[in-house]
Amino acid sequence: MVGQAPFAKALLDPGEPTPDRLSLGGGSADQRFSIYRNNGIAGLSDILMAHFPVLTELLGEEYCRSLVVCYIRQYPPHSPILTQYGRDMPAFLAAFPPVSRYPYLPDIAAMELALLASYHAKDSRPVEAEILSSIPDNAVSDARLVIAPSVQTINSLWPIHQIWMSHRRNHPMPTSLKDNGENILIVRREFDPEPLKLVEGGFEFVTALQKRQTISEAYEQARAIHQGFDLTEMLRQLLAYNAIIDVQHLDLKKTR
């Protein structure tokens, strides 16, 4: 019987010999295992390219397939659940010399992973807008907003939202990549997640809420980045995209 570790190593590395004592029902074990290996790599490659469609378009399908094979051999799957396979892609791209002249690729991969995580996140029931108005005015700042599990945030030095939109929504590509960073909010209003460009201070505000900080604490962090941060507009956006699932405060008699 062949151990799982040697088998997995041989499956992903063509330089490894066919595992000893491998029984494949007749014929050449080397030839049959080579076919099995190729099919396994091809299947994992298809999964990764499906997880990173914009990355695939940016690099071209042929080149991206070669790249993901390198990724698979360096980061083999450690779970039979492959819906999140590829979580190390940003780190892999950042350290992969052939794509070093495209420094925005790791953030594109991080954004696509966040979209994938949002898609598979637990369903939740959004609050109604009226629940905020039920908190006494002098107590709103101490309330905590519970953010939906599907909400993700990305902080990037590059215009990754514009790049993503140009490939998925046929918007124009950004004219400049330098000094054009974007913060992204990923929401799932119904079934499919979508990325939104956050206003200045919005990233800090949402991430503070995700850390269970109060509205007041999150607001101060946002204002430290942008003095003109519009709290009302930010809350309106979160409510409109079903991003808030609970409001917690001692003076609120009923929470959801």
Q: What residue spans define the domains of the chain?
A: 1-102, 110-256
Mean predicted lDDT score pLDDT of the chain: 85
Phi/psi at 205 (nearest 5 deg)? Answer: -65, -50
CA-nearest of 143, 136, 137 to 247 is 143
Per-residue pLDDT, 4: 60
pLDDT score of 245: 95
Task: Summarize pLDDT for 55-102 with one digit per residue, the tens.
Answer: 999 999 999 999 999 999 899 888 888 888 999 999 999 999 999 999
Percent of residues, the chain, with pLDDT higher than 90:
62
Name the DSSP letter for residue 179. Answer: T
Instruction: Tell me the mean pLDDT in the region 179-191.
Output: 91
The share of the chain scoring above pLDDT 70, in percent, equals: 81
C-beta separation of 153 from 197 below 8 A = no
139 DSSP assignment? G
The string of pLDDT tens digits covering residues 165-183 is: 999 877 777 777 876 899 9
Above 50 in pLDDT, residue 153? yes
Query: In this predicted structure, what is the pLDDT of residue 3?
Result: 45
Q: What is the pLDDT of residue 32?
A: 58
Q: What is the mean pLDDT of residues 149-161?
A: 96
Cβ burial of 215 (10 Å; 0-12, 13-18, 19+) is buried
CA atoms of 79 and 77, how far apart (whole Å): 6
How high is the pLDDT of residue 252? Answer: 53
Please calculate the CA angle 81-86-90 and round it to the nearest 5 degrees: 155
Section 117-145 average pLDDT: 85
